[in-house]
Amino acid sequence: MRGVQDMGAEVAHTLLRGEPPVAECREVYTLRNTNQPGLSVSARRAVLQVVALAPNSTQRIVESIVEAIVERRLMPGTKLVESRIGSLFDVSRTVVRQALNQLSRDRLVTLEPSRGAFVAQPGIAEARQVFEARQLIEAAMVRQLCGRITDAQIAQLRTHLRQERSAVARADVGERTRLLGDFLVVLARQLGNEVLAQLLADLLSRSSLISLMYQSSHSAEDSQAEHVAIVDALERRDARAAVRLMGHHLASVERTLRMAPRSTDLAKALKR
């Protein structure tokens, strides 16, 4: 059975190329306990049918689209056609609308009357506000973590850094983008704060859209090196250095954004 990442890739590929979804994309989720003694064949089938139509179908769509955005496979402004998504996941348009409504509440999708759903195109003011929010949250996070981080957690971060470095060396854009973003979520979870982890994950998704919209040229190698420096400071339990390095890291990303959207006007694009 394929995971959310595979489905996210298929969503992006289908929507970007405008092709009808293929039958092989469809899958049925099963329960571990459907083979328990005394459960009839008809009962097993009924359970499987219920699971296939369960509310987590909505979440699968949400997670797949978010992952495609974060890994830069869905561009801002891409139209999200309900019928294509429904066919891809083998669900009704009602389920698709539930997913798109959730993404709209998270500011990753815009819903336009009579036109449909589109991947959001954040404006300049929103972009600045997202980075300002990240500055406040991430500085406080590393300051707090520095006072309580354990050697085992440092080892966990070192493992994550090795995975980042490997993905960067392979030029695996999707994997390195995911891992570089997950670095902050890992830090939040080390504080034992799942709400903070989810909040950062949402902000990182919006940051990915901003980077796509405003053509970030910040190199993955620089980001990875900055993560190493942050972990070095955490290992020394040097809160001041950790906060400074985290602020520098985010500021360097923000500086590389051209705060003007990509030109879509042919005359302007070709004018010399």
Q: pLDDT at position 141, please?
A: 95
101 and 204 share one domain: no
Q: pLDDT at position 211, please?
A: 78
Q: pLDDT at position 124, please?
A: 85
Which residue in 200, 167, 170, 174 sits closest to 185, CA to CA?
200
226 and 129 share one domain: yes
- Kindly state whether residue 19 falls inside one of the protein's structural domains: yes
Q: pLDDT at position 263, please?
A: 43
162 and 243 share one domain: yes
68 and 83 share one domain: yes
- Kindly state whether residue 109 falls inside one of the protein's structural domains: yes
Can you give the CATH number for the domain in which 189 is found? 1.20.120.530
Prediction pTM value? 0.64
- Kindly state whether residue 203 falls inside one of the protein's structural domains: yes
Last residue of a domain, one of 94, 119, 144: 119
Last residue of a domain, one of 55, 90, 119: 119
35 and 95 share one domain: yes
Range of the domain at 148: 124-255
How many domains does the chain divide into?
Answer: 2
H-type helices in the chain, by residue range?
Answer: 4-17, 41-52, 56-70, 82-89, 93-105, 124-146, 151-169, 173-190, 194-213, 220-235, 239-255, 266-270
201 and 242 share one domain: yes
50 and 101 share one domain: yes
Q: pLDDT at position 216, please?
A: 52
70 and 137 share one domain: no
> Is residue 66 within 8 Å of 173, Cβ to Cβ?
no
10 and 93 share one domain: yes
Can you give the CATH number for the domain in which 30 is found? 1.10.10.10
Q: pLDDT at position 205, please?
A: 86
243 and 133 share one domain: yes
115 and 133 share one domain: no
Note down pLDDT in tens along the chain; length 272 residues.
444 445 455 555 555 555 444 333 333 223 334 444 444 444 444 433 433 444 588 989 998 998 888 777 888 899 999 999 999 999 999 999 999 999 999 889 999 998 999 999 988 888 889 989 999 999 999 999 999 999 999 999 999 999 999 998 988 877 888 888 899 999 999 999 999 999 998 898 888 888 777 755 457 788 899 999 999 999 999 999 999 999 998 887 777 666 554 444 424 432 43
Give the neighbor-by-neighbor strand order of the sheet with 79-80. 79-80, 116-119, 109-112
- Kindly state whether residue 59 falls inside one of the protein's structural domains: yes
Q: pLDDT at position 148, please?
A: 94
Q: pLDDT at position 11, please?
A: 54
151 and 226 share one domain: yes
Last residue of a domain, one of 63, 85, 119: 119
